[in-house]
Amino acid sequence: MHLPQTYMDEVDFSNPDYYINRELSWLEFNNRVLEEACDPHQPLLERLKFACIFTSNLDEFFEIRLAGIKQQIENELSDVAPDGLTAQEIFAAVRKRVLELLKIQYDLWRNELAPQLAEAGIRVLTAEDLSEEDKTWATQYYTEEVFPVLTPLAIDPSHPFPQLLNKSHNLIVLLRRPDIPGELVYAIVQMPRVLPRLVRLPRPEVDDQPRQHHFLPLRSLVSMNVETLFPGLVVDSSHSFRITRNSDLYIDDEEAENLLRSIMDELRKRNRGNAVRLELDPGTPPEIQHLLMEHFHLAPHDLYINDGPLTFMHLMPITGIDAPHLKDKPFVPARPRNLPPDADIFEITRRQDVLLHHPYESFNPVVEFLTRAAIDPNVLAIKMTLYRTSGDSPIVRALMTASENGKQVTALVEVKARFDEANNIAWARKMEEAGVHVVYGIVGLKTHCKMMLVVRRDDGKLRHYAHLGTGNYHPSTARIYTDLGLLTSNREITAEVAALFNTLTGLAEYQGGEGLLLVAPFNLAERMRELIARETELARSGRPARIFVKVNSLVDEEMIQALYEASRAGVKVDLVVRGICCLRPGIPGVSDNIRVISIVGRFLEHSRIFFFNNDGGEPQLYLGSADWMPRNLYRRVEVVFPVLDAKIRTRITEEIIPAFLSDCVKARQLQPDGHYKRLHPAEGQKPRQAQLFFREIARKQAGQIITQQAEHGTQPNSFKLTPMTTPAKARD
């Protein structure tokens, strides 16, 4: 096979033009979330929910990523990203793009969402919108429920500027002393977090008419009555503002004598980190803007004027209104195909591996697996990793029950799971009190893998049963995140899982370098590069070669370069990357055999799948917890596991992967310039939507017959693994 001349040329993979900036790529992902809010085909409250998610995502971006960029600038670090941009250039580009996205969001609110909500009887009112009856009720509510909780904080030489919490909602009040003409006094009123941000106004229910849902923002209610907090002073004006602070935890594991105590200390500081963003209402006087920026050590480029809700997160309660006609059709996960309700999970898992596809298939079998193990007299031990879950989780209760039943129970809890640290510490201590042996992570690494091991006596012999997955052991998020899990009693796999648990809890050296599991930081990156290199060599020798990878993020330079080499050799590469993708497709002679799509829909795409054609013989297929980012490959404990069962492999390669590749409703294709174009059906092609296809399969499993009109979009009965050369068309 003779390669085109462009492939024969030497390529310098350090060329900055070959990489997309990480931060800008993330903003494009959040833009795709915002596109869902802008989509008129979405139910109205779902559109509002996506607008709120956009804001939540952006908050975390400022708290973590932009905070880090600002630190680089302040410390005058000269590091340059792979795309060639300096920290100053990244900051400027990020601000420009954020302002563009915020304009789209607030225009959407004013021109579409707010008017359409009002038509549906849902209104967010201002003080000027209130009737006299409303004002009377609101004043009484303020007096009884709000005023007793408020604390006015003056700002003067004897009252320094108060310490305001991260993302807290505040009023700055401009006051005058009647007895001293011309003297101004400033004060701060923080909106207590114990109070709802939206106050529901009473509205009578009228027969044959839609129920009215009218809300008054808490800040408006306090502003209306703010003079009650300052008797003897004249209120000149009040203005809302919100501060976002650096929320990353700074823990030197090598120096931390007690990791748990160090994390708790850092959590106390999180709400008081350096400010990175100031959000203000329009019309805030320049002198107040200057006062706030000066106090928080911020510059004009850190200031954002929000012409609408100060933050859309305050509108999230509206999405919980009981209005089915304004929401997605309810979806109930199906029971997995080969796990009937009264099935003996251990017996079935002894006979065959079981694939679980969440949220289309219920997470309950995972809970049942653990709950059954907790009370089964034949079960001797349970070991489990926990990255995120909830304090009232049946997972936690089952582990405590198992311990109380005399079983050896070990839970490896990651207390550095971002923004869940405090919750994890709280329920981990409850487990310790119940006798569970809790291990708080590993020095220098985050334990991000998802695995559970049960040791059971079967017919006089000990047998291992394992659950391995791509998502957290969190029953709530399992209803909205797409993940894959595997129940198996395969002796080779379970033996390696047992050995890995011993490594994590006993600090033994990992011995599974050439085993079935690919484990970060030990061998995952190296083995993945070997699999890519094998496809590359197959293509160079003229044999079938293909790679499919589905991850949340693709950032690692070495992985990107390996994919570039594969593309240059003629390997057809399909990437489904939900979020950040620093690989630039479509570069002649470098990445023109690589196609990248991102799917953003009703559920958050979270599963990771790795497919290597292996000369068209027996393809190698892996699932796991790891994205292709340096942190996942080198600074976390991750597990990627093989799919060995032929039926499961067929289901993934002939049903699941083709569904992603054929999506032309919720998929966007990455362009060489770093932007994404939404796909649409080619002429004569039916609309195909992967998440809807999986929901239909689940409904049929549950015995529910639906029509194509039940939800927006239609689906073919089945997919075939279509070649990359016939993709859906991108919409400009």
| Residue 520: strand pairing partners | 638
Pairwise CA distance, residues 242 & 187, whole Å: 15
**300: phi then psi, degrees, rounded to nearest 5:** -55, -30
Q: Would you say residue 374 has pLDDT above 90?
A: yes
Pairwise CA distance, residues 370 & 389, whole Å: 14
CB 678 within 8 A of CB 730: yes
Q: Would you say residue 134 has pLDDT above 80?
A: yes
Please enumerate in sequence order all residues whose Cβ is within 8 A of that of 252, keeping only pairs 6 or more positions apart, or say none.
none
Read off the pLDDT band of 178 (50, 70, 90).
confident
Pairwise CA distance, residues 43 & 503, whole Å: 49
Pairwise CA distance, residues 202 & 221, whole Å: 15
What is the average pLDDT across 608-624? 92
- Residue range(s) occupied by CATH 3.30.870.10 in the chain: 345-495, 525-730
The pLDDT of residue 204 is 85
Q: How many CB atoms lie under 10 A from the CB of residue 447?
A: 25
Query: Which of 293, 263, 319 lies closest to 49, judged by CA?
Result: 319
Pairwise CA distance, residues 24 & 447, whole Å: 28
Element spanning 575, H or E: strand 572-577
The 3-class SS string of 384-453 reads: EEECCCCCCCHHHHHHHHHHHCCCEEEEEECCCCCCCHHHHHHHHHHHHHCCCEEECCECCEEECCEEEE
Percent helix / strand / coil, the chain, rounded to 5: 40, 20, 40
Question: In this structure, is the dihedral angle defined by the CA atoms of residues 632, 635, 638 and 642, taken in order, positive or negative?
Answer: positive
pLDDT tens for residues 661-719? Answer: 999 999 999 999 999 999 999 888 899 999 999 999 998 887 743 333 344 444 433 33
Query: Which of 358, 367, 599 lies closest to 482, judged by CA?
Result: 358
CB 447 within 8 A of CB 473: no
* Both tokens assigned to 210: 């839609």
- Please tell me the class of the 18-326 domain: alpha beta
- Tracing tokens 């390996």 back to the chain, one arrives at 562
Q: Would you say residue 57 has pLDDT above 80?
A: yes
At position 154, the amino acid (one-letter code) is: A
Read off the pLDDT band of 6 (50, 70, 90).
low
* Both tokens assigned to 216: 């008054």
The pLDDT of residue 76 is 82
Q: Would you say residue 282 has pLDDT above 80?
A: yes
- Tracing tokens 């395969």 back to the chain, one arrives at 490
For the chain, what is the mean pLDDT?
89
* Both tokens assigned to 638: 């991750």
Query: Which of 568, 567, 570, 616 lies closest to 596, judged by CA?
Result: 567
Query: Which of 673, 514, 646, 486 lies closest to 587, judged by CA?
Result: 673
The pLDDT of residue 253 is 41
Q: Using alpha carbons only, how large is the chain's radius of gyration in Å?
A: 28
* Both tokens assigned to 55: 């804001």
- What does each C-alpha distance from 53 to 198, 311, 312 come to in angstroms? 18, 11, 8
Which of 602-615 are b and which e, b meaning 16 or more Cβ less than 10 Å from the residue's Cβ?
bbbbbbbbbbbbbe
CB 454 within 8 A of CB 317: no
Query: Which of 711, 717, 726 lies closest to 662, judged by CA?
Result: 726
pLDDT tens for residues 525-579? Answer: 999 999 999 999 999 999 999 999 999 999 999 999 999 999 999 999 999 999 9
* Both tokens assigned to 343: 């099935």
* Both tokens assigned to 362: 């219920």
* Both tokens assigned to 279: 């959000």
The pLDDT of residue 391 is 57
Pairwise CA distance, residues 56 & 63, whole Å: 11
Angle (deg, nearest 10), helices 259-270 and 421-433: 140
Pairwise CA distance, residues 322 & 405, whole Å: 42
Pairwise CA distance, residues 291 & 286, whole Å: 9
Known catalytic residue at 169: no
Let me know the angle formed at the C-alpha of 103 by 97 and 107, rounded to the nearest 5 degrees.
155
CB 462 within 8 A of CB 380: yes
Spacing of C-alpha 239 from chain mean position: 32
In a 3-state reduction of DSSP, which class is residue 67? Answer: helix
Q: Would you say residue 258 has pLDDT above 90?
A: no
Pairwise CA distance, residues 529 & 259, whole Å: 33
CATH 3.30.870.10 corresponds to the domain 525-730: yes
Angle (deg, nearest 10), helices 524-540 and 557-569: 10
Read off the pLDDT band of 267 (50, 70, 90).
very low
In a 3-state reduction of DSSP, which class is residue 189? Answer: strand
- Residue range(s) occupied by CATH 3.30.1840.10 in the chain: 18-326
Pairwise CA distance, residues 502 & 557, whole Å: 32
What is the average pLDDT across 337-356? 91
Q: Would you say residue 588 has pLDDT above 80?
A: yes
CB 568 within 8 A of CB 12: no
pLDDT tens for residues 198-233? Answer: 999 998 887 777 789 999 999 999 999 999 999 999
pLDDT tens for residues 618-676? Answer: 899 999 999 999 999 999 999 999 999 999 999 999 999 999 999 999 999 999 999 99
In a 3-state reduction of DSSP, which class is residue 464? Answer: strand
CATH number of 345-495: 3.30.870.10
- What does each C-alpha distance from 296 to 249, 268, 275 come to in angstroms? 20, 19, 6
The beta strands (E) that lie in 246-322 are given as 275-280, 303-305
* Both tokens assigned to 276: 């990175």
Please enumerate in sequence order all residues whose Cβ is within 8 A of that of 625, keeping only pairs 6 or more positions apart, or say none.
448, 449, 450, 469, 470, 471, 608, 638, 639, 640
Pairwise CA distance, residues 135 & 143, whole Å: 12
pLDDT above 90 as % of the chain: 73
- What does each C-alpha distance from 602 to 520, 540, 576, 702 come to in angstroms? 31, 41, 16, 20
The pLDDT of residue 413 is 87
Q: How many residues does the chain have?
A: 732
Query: Which of 456, 631, 660, 444 lies closest to 549, judged by CA?
Result: 660
What is the average pLDDT across 227-243? 94
What is the average pLDDT across 380-400? 86
How far the first Cα of the chain sits from its last, in Å, is 36
Weakest-pLDDT range from 237-246, 489-498, 502-511, 630-639: 502-511
* Both tokens assigned to 568: 């240059």
pLDDT above 70 as % of the chain: 89
Q: Which of 213, 358, 448, 606 is catalytic?
A: 448
The beta strands (E) that lie in 525-571 are given as 546-551
pTM tops 0.85: yes
Weakest-pLDDT range from 70-84, 186-200, 407-421, 504-518: 407-421
